[in-house]
Structure 1
Amino acid sequence: MSSPTIRLGLRDWDHLVPLMSGRVQVPGFQVEIDARDVTPDVLAEPGLDGGETSFSRYVRARAAGDDRLVGLPAFVMRGFRHRCVLVRADSPLRSFGRLAGARVGLTGWPDSGNTWTRALIRAAGVDLSGIEWRVGPLAAGEVGKERLGDRPLPPNVSAMAEGESLVGELAAGRLDAILTPFMPPEFFTPDSRFRHLLDDHPAAERAYWAATGFVPGIHLVTLKKEVVEAHPELPAALLAGLEASKRHWLDRRRLLADTTPWLLHSLTESAEVFGADWMPYGTENNAAMTRAFCEELYAQGIAPEPIDPAVVFPLPLAAVAAA
């Protein structure tokens, strides 16, 4: 009897490559991964059994009673947000506290990453309602993304006009800063017009880790409810496969570290700071981060009511590497 085929829509994160290539298997299932350029809308695609999903979108749906997706505590995208605030190269702004009363653009209002970034600004004592927020694409011509969410926007939040972009408005001086999870191409050139707000964002991120014990989760893997009901053993098996893929990837990166000039240094430093795993899977391993995110969604008005973290992961899964 052949194993059930499970089709997932995921972006090609390097730690997923062992699973995508077949080097790592999920016992009992034939997992097919459809590599995507952008995050899929899992529920909108009948051909998908699951895939990569925005943490914010998932949590808000679960909190509203929508249980059509079952999340695995496997965050395929996570990262510190201190690096995600850009200003002009000649800007006098060099701290989150200086953003009080500023004009700030961002790529999406309810987005997971931007929620975490606003949390940093809020923690610096800045009243978010005093900032003039503009929501729009990083670069002109970007389409196909829901940027405003499904709730009424606060009065200090507005959408950018057709043809405008965060990069263009920042360069022109009509914005003081922008929040973006991805750097514009020119950021990697010596004469970039932009820089990070923080002069030493790695130091700030290390301090954040010391204070919280987690790296913020942005996207997670979800499965459709009917797929889980048909295959109740799938969530644990898939989580084990994701864990095995991540471990295999890390072992290979440590062996084949000559893919960037300083990758070995980065891997060594990460092990020193974070220990064995900076992106742990499992419900308990992510409990503090999940609780903090739920609190922040409500504090920022993204969620209309407080969210019980217990609704986020209905299956108490632990990360155990597949044999």
Structure 2
Amino acid sequence: MSSPVIRLGLRDWDHLVPLVSGLVEIPGFTVRIEARDVTPDVLAEPVLDGGETSFSRYVQARAAGDDRLVGLPAFVMRGFRHRCVLVREDSPLRSIGQLAGARIGLTGWPDSGNTWTRALLRGAGVDLAAIRWRIGPLTAGETGKDRVGDRPLPAHVSVMAEGESLVDELAAGRLDALLSPFMPQELFTRTSRFRHLLDDHRAEERAYWEATGFVPGIHLVTLKREVVEAHPALPAALLTGLEESKRRWLDRRRLLADTTPWLLHELTESARLFGDDWMPYGTKCNAEMTRAFCEELYAQGVWPEPIDPDVVFPDPALAAVPAL
């Protein structure tokens, strides 16, 4: 009898390559991964059994009692957010605290990454309600993204007019800063009009790690409820396969480190700071990060009530990944 075919929609993260290429197999299942340019809406695509999902949107759904998606504590996208604040090259702003009362654009209000970035402002004592927030695409012409969510926006948050973009508004001086999980291509040139707010965001991120013990989770892998009910062994098996793929990828990168000029340095420095795994999978090792994120969604008004972090990953079988 052939194995059930499980179709997942995921962006082409490097650590998924061993799974995509077949070097890693999921016992009892045939996993097919469709590479996506943007994060898919898993529930809206009948051909998908699961895929990459916004942590924010998933947590809000679970808080509302919507369990149509079963989240795996496998955060395929993680990252510090200090680097995500951009200003003009000639801006006098140099610290998070200086953003008090500023005009700030961002790529989406309920987004996971932007929620984590706003948490940095709260941590620096900045009143989020005193910020004049504007929501819009990073660059002109970007479409296909829900930037607002299902709940009413706060009074101090507005949506840009069609045709406007964050980079254009920042360049014109109508914004003081912008928040974006992805950088505009211009930033990678020698003549960029923009720079990171923090002169040494890496030092700030290291301090954040030392204070919290986690790198913020942005996107996770989810499965449709009906798929899990039909194949109860799938969540744990897939979590294990994702872990093996990540481990194989890291081993290969440490061997084939000449893909960027200083990748070897980054790998060795990361290992010394974070240990063997800076992006661990499993409910238990992500419990503190999950709790902190639930608190931020409520504190920032993204969600109207406190969220019990236990509703996010209720399956005890996903508490930890078995040793490989």
Q: TM-score range by the shorter chain?
A: over 0.9
Structure-2 residue corresponding to 1:305: 305
Give the partner amino acid of 1:207: A
Q: What letter matches 2:25 in structure 1?
A: Q
Separation in structure 2 between the aligned mates of residue 162 and residue 236 of structure 1, nearest angstrom:
44
Aligned equivalents of 1:8, 1:196: Cα separation in 2: 34
C-alpha separation in 2, matches of 1:179 and 1:321: 38
Q: Deviation of residue 191 (structure 1)? A: 1.0
1:257-312: CA deviation from partner (whole Å, max 9, x where unpaired): 00000000000000000001000000001000000000000000001100000000
For 1:163-242, list aligned pairs within 5 A.
163-242=163-242
Q: Are the aligned partners of 1:133 and 1:156 in contact in 2 as well (CA < 8 Å)? A: yes
User: SS of the counterpart of 2:143?
Assistant: coil
Aligned to 1:148: 148
TM-score, reference length from structure 2: 0.99
Distance (Å, rounded) in 2 between the aligned partners of 1:92 and 1:11: 36
Deviation of 1:31 after TM superposition, in Å, equals 0.3
1:321 CA displacement: 5.1
Q: Equivalent residue for 2:90?
A: 90
8 Å CA contact 1:243–1:321 kept in 2: the answer is: no
Distance 2:96 2:129 in 1: 15
Partner of 1:249: 249
Structure 1, residues 51-109: CA drift from partner, whole Å, max 9, x if none?
A: 00000000000000000000000000000000000000000001110000100000000
CA distance in 2, matches of 1:260, 1:220: 27
- The DSSP-based 3-state class of the residue aligned with 2:98 is helix
CA distance in 2, matches of 1:173, 1:122: 24
Is residue 61 of structure 1 aligned with residue 61 of structure 2? yes
- Identity over aligned pairs, percent: 83
Q: Give yes or no for contact 1:244–1:321 (8 Å, CA) kept in 2.
A: no
Note the 1:104-183 alignment, pairs <5 A. Answer: 104-183=104-183
**1:42 CA displacement:** 0.2
Deviations 1:180-216, CA, capped at 9 Å, x for gaps? 0111001000111000000000000000000000000
Paired residue type of 1:38:
V
Residue of structure 2 equivalent to 1:22: 22
Question: Is the deviation greater in 222-231 or in 310-319?
Answer: 310-319
* Cα distance in 1 between the residues matched to 2:282 and 2:179: 29
How far apart are 1:320 and its partner, in Å?
Answer: 2.3
Provide the secondary structure at the position in 2 that maps to 1:162: coil
Equivalent in the alignment of 1:320: 322
Task: Give me the whole-angstrom Cα distance separating, in 1, the residues matched to 2:240 and 2:289.
Answer: 21
Q: Give the counterpart letter for 1:183 in structure 2.
A: M
| TM-score normalised by the chain length of structure 1 | 0.99
Q: CA deviation digits over 1:117-139, x for unaligned, max 9?
A: 00001100000000000000000
Aligned to 2:77: 77
Cα deviation, 1:200-242, whole Å, max 9, x if unaligned, reads 0000000000000000000000000011111110000000000
Instruction: Give distance in 1, aligned partners of 2:235 and 2:8.
Output: 13
Q: CA deviation at 1:160?
A: 0.3
Q: Which residue of 1 aligns with 2:3?
A: 3
- Deviation >3 Å, runs of 4+: none
For 2:191, what is the secondary structure of its paired residue? coil
In 2, the alpha carbon distance for the partners of 1:19 and 1:26 equals 9
Q: What letter matches 2:315 in structure 1? A: L
Q: Distance in 2 between matches of 1:150 and 1:178?
A: 23
* Contact 1:241-1:321 within 8 A present in 2 as well: no
How many residues are matched? 322
CA distance in structure 2 between the aligned counterparts of 1:247 and 1:287, rounded to whole angstroms:
21
The amino acid across from 2:234 in the alignment is: L
Amino acid at match of 1:194: F
> Which whole-Å CA distance do the structure 2 matches of 1:31 and 1:276 have between them?
27
Q: Which residue of structure 2 lines up, in the alignment, with residue 266 of structure 1?
A: 266
Q: RMSD of the alignment, in Å? A: 0.6
Match of 1:117, SS? helix
